[in-house]
């Protein structure tokens, strides 16, 4: 079965599936914020994800790879906890579509961190693809840039830092955790952040909100979907994709994520313009070049 997936077609199927799920995560976060604070959305997401993988991957607790604990710790906090908090905080001010489009910077940071710290060797076409992808995103954001203010820049920086964390985590997995199973990586890395998230969640007014807020159960449901699909199933698939193809290819899904975020904006009664279609075309060209092997 694994050999059938580990093919160019299989890689692209996983990539597109991840893009669809993660592109939908921004609207799910937004719905979670209807009742909860950004901290509650982030810690609830991490708590549900931790409990889910602890059940799915419980066998991995029998023999913990002590030589890889620091890498697993780094992946847990840098790849899961910090981005969950930063993205949730950013969405208290920015539109979910804009957050999704800024997420496109992840492959750029993956390339930069990989080249500088992990001796990653990439082709000129890959650099060009990353550059074109960013240009496409800037093109898409141009109407927003005209309205930028200090607060917009402040919250946009949170998203940018989160994408840098994703890029760093992808390189950690590729460089230090290649010998571990994808579910094993996800289970053990979330074990470092899950207990903290549960304690933090219940130390606040989470129970009170659940009992009194009219949208609490709906927000809980959206956050649970976010946790299970985006923080468990997709992370397992993402870790597997990194092991099969490399960090640069795997993180290039963030280009397509921005398009999914725009489509959710349309469902939220936004309009797709020729301007956005042009940006889409530029981004797809960048995705092709980032993943060009020869």
CA distance 258 to 281: 12
DSSP classification of residue 189: H
Give the CA diameter of the chain: 58
The angle at the Cα of 187, spanning 184 to 191, to the nearest 5 degrees, equals 135
Cβ neighbours around 91 below 10 Å, total? 24
Query: Could you tell me the residue range of the domain that residue 99 belongs to?
Result: 2-290
Which residue is associated with the tokens 């981005």? 83
Q: Which two tokens stand for residue 259?
A: 């398009």
Phi, psi of 238, deg, nearest 5: -65, -45
Residue 146: HSE in the Cβ half-sphere, 13 Å Cα cutoff:
4
The number of distinct structural domains making up the chain is 1
Phi, psi of 59, deg, nearest 5: -65, -25
Tell me which of 220 and 3 has the higher pLDDT: 220
Which residue is associated with the tokens 């697993």? 72
DSSP classification of residue 28: H
Q: Give the least confident one: 2-11, 113-122, 140-149, 159-168.
A: 140-149
CA distance 63 to 78: 24
> Does residue 1 carry a pLDDT above 60?
no
CA distance 122 to 278: 27
* pLDDT tens digits along 172-203: 988 888 888 888 888 999 999 999 999 999 99
The dihedral region occupied by 246, where left means phi > 0, alpha psi between -120 and 50, and beta the remainder, is left
- When pLDDT is averaged across residues 206-215 and rounded to a whole number, the result is 94
Residue 221: which of 22, 32, 88 has the closest Cα? Answer: 32
* pLDDT tens digits along 137-159: 777 666 655 555 667 778 888 98
Q: What is the pTM of this model?
A: 0.81
92, 158 in Cβ contact below 8 A?
A: no
């Amino acid at each position: 079965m694994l050999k059938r997936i580990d093919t160019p077609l299989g890689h692209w199927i996983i990539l597109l599936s991840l893009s669809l799920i993660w592109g939908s995560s921004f609207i799910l976060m937004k719905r979670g914020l209807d009742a909860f604070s950004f901290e509650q959305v982030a810690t609830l997401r991490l708590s549900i994800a931790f409990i889910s993988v602890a059940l799915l991957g419980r066998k991995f607790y029998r023999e913990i790879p002590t030589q890889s604990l620091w890498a697993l710790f780094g992946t847990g906090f840098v790849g899961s906890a910090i981005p969950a908090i930063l993205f949730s905080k950013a969405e208290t001010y920015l539109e979910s579509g804009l957050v999704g489009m800024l997420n496109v910077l992840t492959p750029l940071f993956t390339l930069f961190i990989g080249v500088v710290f992990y001796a990653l060797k990439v082709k000129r076409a890959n650099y060009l693809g990353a550059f074109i992808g960013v240009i496409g995103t800037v093109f898409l954001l141009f109407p927003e840039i005209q309205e930028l203010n200090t607060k917009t820049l402040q919250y946009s920086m949170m998203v940018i830092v989160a994408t840098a964390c994703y890029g760093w985590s992808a390189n950690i997995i590729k460089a230090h955790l290649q010998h571990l199973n994808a579910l094993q990586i996800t289970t053990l890395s979330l074990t470092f952040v899950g207990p903290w998230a549960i304690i933090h969640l219940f130390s606040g007014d989470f129970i009170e909100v659940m009992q009194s807020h009219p949208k609490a159960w709906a927000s809980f449901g959206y956050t649970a979907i976010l946790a299970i699909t985006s923080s468990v199933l997709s992370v397992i698939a993402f870790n597997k994709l990194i092991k099969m193809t490399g960090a640069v290819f795997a993180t290039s899904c963030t280009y397509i994520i921005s398009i999914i975020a725009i489509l959710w904006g349309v469902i939220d009664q936004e309009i797709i313009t020729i301007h956005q279609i042009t940006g889409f075309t530029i981004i797809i060209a960048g995705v092709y070049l980032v993943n060009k092997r020869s």
